[in-house]
Chain A
Amino acid sequence: GEDVEQSLFLSVREGDSSVINCTYTDSSSTYLYWYKQEPGAGLQLLTYIFSNMDMKQDQRLTVLLNKKDKHLSLRIADTQTGDSAIYFCAESSASKIIFGSGTRLSIRP
């Protein structure tokens, strides 16, 4: 079945770039998403990319999509303490969305 995988933890220094990686299995996915979850809150849509795009940039966020390898990444430039959260990769599949297990991003001074 469909599956989305991502590493569980990432630690970066404040001001550096963070890169969160994700692999997915459904080659027919139309959209791929990145969600952010802060403590005590639900998931907030950060950005998404249509499957016929290779890259999407939105301020400090850059999404890269490699369809051949079914690999998605989220780069956060100039990482700040407010970026501490769990980041979920997700793919659209048969009118549903399949989520990865989330990557917890922690920022060290």
Chain B
Amino acid sequence: DADVTQTPRNRITKTGKRIMLECSQTKGHDRMYWYRQDPGLGLRLIYYSFDVKDINKGEISDGYSVSRQAQAKFSLSLESAIPNQTALYFCATSDSHGTGDGQPQHFGDGTRLSIL
């Protein structure tokens, strides 16, 4: 089983709809992140959370919201989807206590979201 699981893997929806992308992890990591990936732009950070009570905006948080329901779950919502939010979305986790391994981030397989 994957350590970082994203659902759904693919979603097509219409402009104006509310959408929720979910992420769950079995790694026991305290930190979780949401990124979007667009061709030629790499990964851009949307929101991140260092524990259940902590939510922080990334560089492109407008139009998005998040909820950290438990240490293992971090969901991303688009309140009213628009076409330029069409992208590949990734959830990632890291362990703040894992200084020995460089605190790398571990990624899910992504959600491909298309807004028509």
Contact = CB atoms under 8 A, between A and B. Distances in A.
Interface of A: 4, 8, 30-31, 33, 40-45, 48, 50, 88, 92, 95-97, 99-102
Majority secondary structure of chain A interface residues (helix, strand, loop or mixed) = strand
A41 B106 CA distance: 12
B68 to A, nearest CB: 16
Contact of B41 (A31, A40, A95, A101): A101
A42 B45 contact: no
A42 B50 CA distance: 21
Contacts of A42: 4, 90, 92, 107-110
B10 to A, nearest CB: 10
Contacts of A50: 102
A35 B50 CA distance: 22
B41 A45 contact: no
A31 to B, nearest CB: 4
A33 B104 contact: yes
Given A31-B102, A50-B102, A43 B107 contact: yes
